[in-house]
Structure 1
Amino acid sequence: MNRNFASHAGLKSCRFVFLLWATVQVAMAQSDNAERRYQYAVRFIQQKEYVKAKAELKPLTEGRTGIAPYAHYYHALADFNLKRFSESRMMLKQLIDRFPNWKKMDDVYYLLGAAYFENGQFEEGLENMTRIGDPNLKQDVSKLETYYFSQINDLNRLKVMQKEFSNNRELALALIDQIQRTSTAPADLELSDRLTNRFGIPAIPRPASAETAANSATVTKPEKNRNKGYFNVAVMFPFRLNEINPDDRARSNQYALDLYNGMKLAKTKLQSEGITVNLFAYDVDNDVSKMTTLVNNPGFIQNDLLIGPLYAEPNRLATEFANQNNILLVNPISTSSELIANQPLAFLASPSLNQQAVKTVAFARTLSTLKKATIYFGNSRKDSTLAALYQAELKRIGFSVVEFRKIGADLETVKVSEVSKPGHIFLASSDENTGPKLLRLLAQRKVEVPVIATSSAFDFDKNPLSVFTKSDLYLVYPEFVDQQRPGSEEFEEQYLEQRNIIPSTYAYQGYDLLLFFGRALARNRGQITNRAQLKTTPEEGYLLSGYDYSGSNENQVVPIVKFDGTRFLIANTF
C-alpha cells in the first residue's frame, strides 16, 4: 500500500486545527498548564513534529474534561502521520467509547476510515465512511475513497466489495476501471456495462499519489474537458454477453471480441508513447433502447471518441449524440458511405464500396490500354453493389463493359473467350470458391488478361499458393496484413500470449484503429473538428495499410495486392 496519503491527511488536519481552535478556547476551563500543553501540541502538529505533539497530548487524554476529546483526536492524527495506523485507530475508538456524543464525531469517522484504508482494511474503512453525516465532508470522502480504491489491483476483491457496498459510486467506478484495464471475460464486461449505466464512467485516470488525489480528483464534470491529459473511448459492439458459451468456437460475436482485444493492445502501445486512453466497453446490439439509455446518461458526454455501434438505428442515435457534443464517432468495419453522409464527425475506418470501386478502376487503367472490361459478381448484396459501382465508374471514364453477369456455382454461362477477351476482368464475390473456379475457366479458354478480384473470392487457408501465381491476378484486399511489416510479429506474439489464439483480421483492425485515432486525439488535444486533422505516415507503424481522410470521412486507402511467388505485396501506390 502506498503511504503517501499522509500529505493529504496533513492538509485536512490544518483545516481541523483552524476549525477546532476557536471551540477549544471556550472549552478550556482547565489549568494554565493544560492550556499550555494543548497549544504546544497544536503548534507541533502544524510543524509536523508529531512525536512532540503526542508527548504533550497524552496526559490530556486521561481526564474527562472538555479538552479531552480534542486531545484524543489530535493524538490519533499524530499517530496517523507517523504511519502508526493501529495506534491511531485505538485512540479514535477510545474517543468514540468515552465521548460518543462529541459534536466532531464525523471527523473521527473520517480519520478512522482512512486509518483502516491504509492497512488495506477497505471494508472497515467504508463502514466508517458511511457513518459520516456532515454534507461538507462528502467531497473529502469522495476524494479519499477514489484514491484508496484505485490502489486495489485485485479484481475479485473489488467485485466482492462492490456487491456489499452496492450504492458506493467511487467503488463502482474503481471496479469499472479495473475491468476495462484487465479483463475481457464476458461476465466482467457485462458487470462493467451495468455499473456504467448506473454510475457513469470514471472521470479521472488512476492517481499516482494521494496528493494528486487530494488536489485533482473529481467525481463528475460539469462540462466537457478537452485538456485533461487522457482520453475516454466508448466501444459499442454487439458483444452479446448473455449468449456466450465458453466452449463454442464459432461465436457469432467473435469478431466484436477480436476487435476489442486488438484495441486493448493498442491502448498499451499508446501508453508507452505517453498517451493515456481509457477504454469502456458497452454491449450494444441492434437495440435502440440500449443506445438511448447510454446517450441519456450524463456521464456519457465524458467520452472523447465513440467506436460503433455496428447497426444502423443505434448508430443513428450515436451519430446525433456525437454531433451535438462534438465527439468523434468511428465505425470500424462498415463499408456503407450512408453512415457518414452529411455527418462531419462520423468516420469509416474502412473504405466504402464506392471508394473501393473508384480506386480499383484507377488501378485497372494502368494494366491495359484496351478500354473494355468484363464484370462478374456473386450472390450477395455486397457483391452486386460493388459490381454496379465498378461498372458506373468505368463508364464515367469512357470504358465499355462487354459483359456484366451474376455468377454462381456454375460458371458455364460466362461468355468470355480468347476471341472476345476484354482489357481486364473484375470479379466481386463473397464466395471463396468462385475465384479459383474462374481462374481455371479462363485457363481452359486460354484467356490471358489481368484479373482483379475481391480477396473474399478466395480461401487463403485452403487454396494452394499455386492458385495465386497467375501472372496478372490482383486482389482488392482492404484488410490486408503484411506479415513482413515492422511490428506485425510482435503484435502476433503478444496477442497469442494474452488470448492463446492467433489474431484474426479483426484484431489487427481494432489495434490500428485505436492507435490511429488515439494518436490523432493526443496530437490535437482531443479537439478534432475536421478530417484535415487526421493524418498518417508510413513510419507510424500500422499493421494494415494506414488511413487517408484527405478527401472524405471514409478511409481512402484501398490496398490491391499481388502474389510475388513467396508472399503478397501491395501492387498499387495510390
Structure 2
Amino acid sequence: MKHTSMINKKLILCLLFFIPALAFAQVTDYNRQYFNAKQLFREGKYNLAMEAFKPLIPYASNNQFSEYAAFYYALAAHNQGYNAVAKDMFNQLKTLHPDWDKMDEVNFWLGKVYLDNKDYFQGIKILASIKDKKMEKEIEALKTKALAPVTDVETLKMMREEYPKDEVVGKALVNALAKDMADKDSRALLETLISQYNLKRSDYFPETPKTIHKDTYTVSVLLPFMVSTLEPTPGRKRNQIVLDFYEGMKLAADTLAKQNVKISLRAYDTDRNTEKIKTLLKTDELKSSDLLVGPFFPEENKAIQDFSLENKINVFNPFSNNSDVIGTNPYAFLYQPSVETMGRKSGEFMAASVRKKNCIVFYGTSRRDSLLAATFVDKARERGLKVLGSHRITKDNLGKVVGTLATATEYDEYKYAKQFTLRKDSLGGIFVASDDALIYTKVLGAVDTRGDSALVLGSEDWLEQTALELDKYSSLPVAFIAPNVSLTNNPYLIAFNRKFIRTHGRTPSLYARMGYEFMLFAGNQLHKNGAYFQESMNKEKYIPGYLTQGFNYEFSRDNQLIPFIRFRHGKAVLLDKR
C-alpha cells in the first residue's frame, strides 16, 4: 500500500509538470499551423491553404488566429472563384468579430465579392462603410473597374439616387449616357454631370469647328432626280417624292431671298448609283458646300456620311427616321424624328391621354416597327401604363387583331356584338407601330366593331394612303404622330399653297410642303447661327416652324418635337406636342 501511494504521488507530480507542457505545445501547434497555412496562401496554393486555415477558425481561448484564419480562408476561396463561400465566411467574420481591427479590409473584400457577382448596390453599400481614408484610392479603383461594363442607364441612375455623393457612380453614369444619347433628358443629365465633375466636354460631345458666317450659304442637294429617265409628260413620276421635295426647297429659297437670306441651292443627281455618288463627292465644288441634303436610298448613305465627316460639312437626311443613318457623325442630322424619339413621345402622350391606364400594342414585321413598339412599351410602362400585350402581326396571323380586340362573347337582339373577350370599355389605348394598311385597317375595324372609347395612336403616313377616307378618321377615336402635318388654318400654309399652285399649276403634296419647311428651317439656321449651327441649336428648346409645329434639337441630332393630332369634321386638330 505504501509503495502504491508513492507511485500515485509521482504520477501526480508528473502530470502537474506535463499539463503546462501540453498547453505550451498546443500554442506552438496553432502558431505553426497558421504560418504553414499562410505560406500555402502566399504560394498561391489556395485549396491547400483553405484546408490548413479551416481548423484554426473556431474560437478557442488559446487560439489567437481565429479571425485571421477566417479572413484568409475567405480570401483563398475568393481567389479560386468560390464567391459564395467567401461571402458567407466574410459575413460570418463580421457577425462573430464585429470589433476586429481589420474590419475595413474585410469590408473591402466583401464589397469586391458583391461587385464581382454584379450585386452593385450591396457592394457599394459595403464599401461605403469603410472608415480608413488610406484605402480610398483602392476603393475608387475597385468600383471604377466593376462599374465600367455597366451600360444600363436606368440602373446607374438608381445607383446615383441611392449614392448621390459617390463620384465613381456619377462618372459611370456619364460614360453610359455618352454611349446612348437618344433621349433629350439623358443629354441634359449628361451636361449636368459633366459640369458637376468638371469633366472635359469634348470627351463626351464631339466638338465642331467654330461657326462661320457668310453672305451666301451653299446648300447641295444629293438626291436621285433620275433626269435621264424622266419623261416630259405631266403624269406622276416614279421619283415624284424627290421631285416634289426639291420643288418645295426651291420655293423656300425664293422666300428666303426676299427676307435677305441668301441661299445658293445646287442639285446633284445621284441616279441611285453609288459609283456616281463617289465621283460627285470628289469634286471641289461639293467640298465648298455649307450644307448637304440627302440621300434618299440607304445604300447611298455611307459615302455621303464619310464625305461629311472628312470635310466637316453638316448634312441633313430629310426623309429617314433611322438614327443609324447618322451614326456617330457629329455633322449629321435627321430632319425627321428618329424611331426611338417617336416611340418615347408616343408612350408619354398615351399615358397622359387615356383615363384607363392599360393598352395593347400591334406592330409589323420590319425592324423599324419592332423598335418603335419596344420604345413605346418602355416609356408607357415608365409612365404608369399597363401593357396588356404586344403583338407582332404578319400576313399569316392578321386574324390575331380581330381575335384580340373583337372576339364577341355576347350579342344583342339584332345579332350585333355587345360584349367581347377583352371587355368593352376596359381598354385605354391601342398603339399601332406600323404603316401597313393591312394591319391598321384591321385594328380600326375592330375598334369600330367594339364601339368603345379606346384611343388608337398611329402614324401621319396613314393619311397619305388611300386605305381609308379622312371622314373615317373623324368618326373613330384615332390620334396621329404628326411631325409633318400642317393645320388647315395656318396662314403660312395658305400662302404656300397659293404660291405653289401659281408656280406649278397643281396642289402641293406632303413632300412639297416638307421641302419648303425644311429649306426655311435650314436656311434660317444658317443665316442666324452660321455654317456650324449645331451648338446654337443645342441650346434652343423650341424652334418655331412655318407649316409645321416646329423643331427641337436640344442636345439632339433628330427632331425631338412631336405633335399629336386628331381629325374632327375632316380637319386636323392639334391635341398635344411633346
CA deviations 1:15-64 (Å, max 9, x no partner) are xxxxxxxxxxxxxxxxxxxxxxxxxxxxxxxxxxxxxxxxxxxxxxxxxx
- Equivalent residue for 2:267? 281
- Equivalent residue for 1:390? 376
Letter in structure 1 aligned against 2:568? D
- Equivalent residue for 1:545? 549
Letter in structure 2 aligned against 1:414? T
CA deviations 1:476-516 (Å, max 9, x no partner) are 12221212112111111111122222111111111111111
The 1:225–1:366 alpha-carbon spacing in structure 2 relative to 1, beyond 3 Å, is closer
The 1:389–1:248 alpha-carbon spacing in structure 2 relative to 1, beyond 3 Å, is farther
Specify the SS of the correspondent of 2:491: coil
CA deviations 1:134-163 (Å, max 9, x no partner) are xxxxxxxxxxxxxxxxxxxxxxxxxxxxxx
The Cα of 1:295 is off from its aligned counterpart by 2.2
CA deviations 1:96-121 (Å, max 9, x no partner) are xxxxxxxxxxxxxxxxxxxxxxxxxx
Alignment of 1:431-450 (within 5 A): 431-432=436-437, 434-450=439-455
The 1:228–1:453 alpha-carbon spacing in structure 2 relative to 1, beyond 3 Å, is closer
Letter in structure 1 aligned against 2:572? F
Given the alignment of the two structures, is residue 564 of structure 1 paired with residue 568 of structure 2, yes or no?
yes
CA contact (8 A) 1:508 1:544 kept: no
CA contact (8 A) 2:340 2:372 kept: yes
CA deviations 1:503-537 (Å, max 9, x no partner) are 11111111111111111111123342536368586
Instruction: Kindly name which structure, 1 or 2, has the bigger radius of gyration based on alpha carbons.
Output: 2
The 1:227–1:558 alpha-carbon spacing in structure 2 relative to 1, beyond 3 Å, is closer
The Cα of 1:250 is off from its aligned counterpart by 3.8
Specify the SS of the correspondent of 1:413: helix
Letter in structure 2 aligned against 1:456? D
The Cα of 1:542 is off from its aligned counterpart by 1.2
- Equivalent residue for 2:433? 428
The Cα of 1:433 is off from its aligned counterpart by 5.7
- Equivalent residue for 1:452? 457
Choose 268-277 or 429-438, whichever is displaced more. Answer: 429-438
Specify the SS of the correspondent of 1:249: coil
Distance in 1 (alpha carbons) for counterparts of 2:212 and 2:243: 29
Distance in 2 (alpha carbons) for counterparts of 1:534 and 1:293: 37
Distance in 1 (alpha carbons) for counterparts of 2:464 and 2:292: 33
Distance in 2 (alpha carbons) for counterparts of 1:458 and 1:519: 29
Letter in structure 2 aligned against 1:499? H
Alignment of 1:99-114 (within 5 A): none
Letter in structure 2 aligned against 1:564? R
CA contact (8 A) 2:542 2:552 kept: no
CA contact (8 A) 1:235 1:307 kept: yes
Given the alignment of the two structures, is residue 469 of structure 1 paired with residue 455 of structure 2, yes or no?
no
CA contact (8 A) 1:531 1:549 kept: no
Distance in 1 (alpha carbons) for counterparts of 2:513 and 2:235: 19
Specify the SS of the correspondent of 1:278: strand
Distance in 1 (alpha carbons) for counterparts of 2:476 and 2:296: 38
Distance in 2 (alpha carbons) for counterparts of 1:285 and 1:513: 22
Distance in 2 (alpha carbons) for counterparts of 1:343 and 1:275: 27
The Cα of 1:343 is off from its aligned counterpart by 1.6
Choose 507-516 or 492-501, whichever is displaced more. Answer: 492-501
CA contact (8 A) 1:453 1:476 kept: yes
Given the alignment of the two structures, is residue 514 of structure 1 paired with residue 519 of structure 2, yes or no?
yes
Q: Equivalent of 1:502, from 472, 489, 507?
A: 507
Alignment of 1:59-138 (within 5 A): none
CA contact (8 A) 2:441 2:467 kept: no
- Equivalent residue for 2:336? 350
Specify the SS of the correspondent of 1:448: coil
Q: Normalised by the size of structure 1, how large is the TM-score?
A: 0.56
The 1:534–1:234 alpha-carbon spacing in structure 2 relative to 1, beyond 3 Å, is farther
Q: Equivalent of 2:404, from 414, 424, 434?
A: 414
Given the alignment of the two structures, is residue 333 of structure 1 paired with residue 309 of structure 2, yes or no?
no
- Equivalent residue for 1:232? 218
Q: CA RMSD in A?
A: 2.7
Specify the SS of the correspondent of 1:260: helix
Name structure 2 gaps, 5 residues minimum.
1-209, 407-419
Distance in 1 (alpha carbons) for counterparts of 2:538 and 2:458: 33
Distance in 1 (alpha carbons) for counterparts of 2:260 and 2:234: 38
Q: Equivalent of 1:555, from 547, 552, 559?
A: 559
Distance in 2 (alpha carbons) for counterparts of 1:323 and 1:521: 18
Name structure 1 gaps, 5 residues minimum.
1-223
Distance in 1 (alpha carbons) for counterparts of 2:316 and 2:403: 42
CA contact (8 A) 1:562 1:570 kept: yes
Letter in structure 2 aligned against 1:324? E
Distance in 1 (alpha carbons) for counterparts of 2:227 and 2:541: 35
Q: Equivalent of 1:362, from 348, 352, 364?
A: 348
